[in-house]
Homo-oligomer: A and B are copies of this chain.
Amino acid sequence: MIPRYSRPEMSALWEPESKYSIWLEIETLAAEAMENLGQIPAGTSAAIRSKAKFEVARIDAIEAEVKHDVIAFLTNIAEHVGEPARFLHLGMTSSDVLDTCLNVQLVRATDILMSGLEQLLAALERRAFEHKLTPTIGRSHGIHAEPTTFGVKLATFHAEFQRAKARLQMAREDIATCALSGAVGTFANIDPRIEAHVSAELGLTPEPVSTQVIPRDRHAMYFATLGVIASSIERLAVEVRHLQRTDVLEAEEFFSEGQKGSSAMPHKRNPILTENLTGLARLVRMAVMPAMENVALWHERDISHSSVERGIGPDTTIHLDFALHRMAGVIENLLIYPDRQLGNLNQLGGLHNSQRVLLALVEAGCSREDAYRLVQRNAMKTWAGEGAFLDHLRGDKDVCDKLSSDHLSGLFDLDYHFKRVDHIFTRVFGRSDA
C-alpha cells in the first residue's frame, strides 16, 4: 500500500484493529450460536461481549512465540475474558475465522468502492449533460473521423462505469460468504447452524462446501473484476491525457493556483492526475494473475495464498478506491474547451463529411466503388492542405453531375450528426434532458 494513494476510510479497514475486531465479532457470534444450541453455558457470549478486549502489540508478542496468529489472538482475549474464553473457537479451525474475516473486509471494501463508483458516475453524468451538444471531432486511429459531441464521449464512459458497478455487485456476491466448517470442512466438530447464525448476523451467505478454506476461485473472480474496472479507469485517463496534449487541448485537468508543473518549464500544465491514474490501473491489474494462481491450493488447503492476499487484499482495494475518487475529481473539475473542440473539428476543411457525400453519391446512382473514388480524389486535395473539401467537390464535374451545389452544402450541416444524441442519452441515462 502506497500511503499517497490511499484514503483513510479504506485503509482503516485493513488495519490490524479492524481485523481483530472482526475476528472477535466472528468468535463471539459463534459462541452466541453455541449457547443457543445449548453447547456451552448460558451467559458465555454476554460475558465475552462485556469483557473482551485485545491489544495489537500484545498479540504480536504472543505470535512471535507461538507462530500462530489465531492462537495468539485467542490467548490475548483470554487474558481479558478469563474462564469463559475456553468456550471460544470450539470445533473451529483458524481459517474459519481468517477466511470469514477476509470476506467481511472485502465486502466492506466493496461498499466503499461502490460509493466511489457512484461519485464518478455522478460526475460523468453531470458533465455529459452539460456538454450534450458540444460538437467535437470523433477520432478513430487518432485520425479525425466524424463529428460527435463531448457529451456522447462522456456517455460512453458513463455506460462503461455502470457496467463496472454491475460487475462489482456480482463480485461482492461472489465473496460475501462465510465458512465455519472445521478442519477439513466436514462440520465434524461444529454444527452447521453455527455457521448459519454467524453468516446471517454478518450479512453473508454460508459457503456451500468449504475445505478448511473458502475456495479461492471466489477471490480470483473478485480481483479479476477489480482489474477490469481499473482498465476502464485507464481508458478514461488515456482519453483525458489525449485531450490535454498541447496539440489537441480540448480539455485540461484543473490546475490549482500554487501548483508548479515543472521545475524547469514554468508554463507547463501537465495531465499528471490522469497519468498517475494510468499507472494506478497497472498496479490494480497486477493482482489478477496472483489471485488466479491462488486458486489451485493443494488438497484441502495450503497457505500459499495467504502472503499474496496480505499484499493484494489491502493494496488493490486501497489503490482502486483512491483511483475512483481521484478520477471523480478529475471529471468533476475538468476544464472543457468547446471553442478549441470546434476549431479542431474544422481543422480538416470539412473532410469529416466525406462519408455523407459518399452516401449521397450512392443514393444518386453511383456504384459504391465509383462514389468512393470521387470522394477520395477530392478529399485528398483538402488533406494536402489545398482548400476546403466542399469547394473541391463543387469544382468536380463528375460530382456535380450527381449532386447539385445546394445539395452538397446541405451535406456539410453539423447538426446532422447530432440528431440521435437524445436517443443515445436516453439509452445511457434513461433520459435525454438534464
Contact = CB atoms under 8 A, between A and B. Distances in A.
Contact of A258 (B66, B283, B354): B66
A191 to B, nearest CB: 9
A310 interface: yes
Interface residues of A, number: 166
A193 B368 CA distance: 23
Contacts of A54: none
Interface string A376-391: 1001101100000100
Contacts of A344: 247
A160 B174 CA distance: 11
Interface in A249-286: 256, 258-272, 275-276, 278-283, 285-286
A46 interface: no
Interface in A342-377: 344, 347-348, 351-352, 354-356, 358-359, 362, 367-369, 372, 375-376
Contacts of A89: 263, 368
Contacts of A5: 307, 310
Contacts of A189: 264, 355-356, 359
B295 A246 contact: no
Given A143-B270, A163-B217, A295-B231, A209 B92 contact: no
Contact of A221 (B65, B228, B262, B263): B228
Given A184-B138, A286-B290, A307-B2, A94 B263 contact: yes
B283 A141 contact: no
Contacts of A304: 275-276, 278-279, 282
A90 B352 CA distance: 17
A248 interface: yes
Contacts of A167: 221
A44 interface: no
Interface string A140-158: 1111111110001101100
Contacts of A329: none
A186 B428 contact: no
- Copies of the chain in the assembly: 4
A310 B2 contact: yes
Given A90-B362, A156-B185, A306-B279, A300 B139 contact: yes
A230 to B, nearest CB: 8
With a 10 A CB-CB cut-off, give which of A145, A155, A206 has the most chain B CB atoms: A145
B2 A303 contact: no
A31 to B, nearest CB: 13
A358 B264 contact: yes
A319 B141 CA distance: 22
A395 interface: no
A267 B354 contact: yes
A227 interface: yes
A91 B188 CA distance: 52
A399 B275 CA distance: 34
A8 to B, nearest CB: 16
A177 B67 CA distance: 43
Contacts of A315: 311
Given A139-B246, A286-B289, 13 more contacts: A2-B310, A93-B264, A140-B301, A146-B183, A152-B209, A188-B416, A189-B359, A224-B227, A237-B296, A245-B248, A265-B354, A267-B348, A278-B302
10 closest pairs, A vs B, by CB? Answer: A138-B184, A267-B379, A279-B307, A141-B270, A231-B295, A282-B290, A139-B299, A266-B376, A278-B304, A142-B245
10 contacts: A89-B368, A93-B263, A140-B270, A141-B302, A164-B217, A209-B427, A220-B227, A224-B224, A224-B227, A230-B292
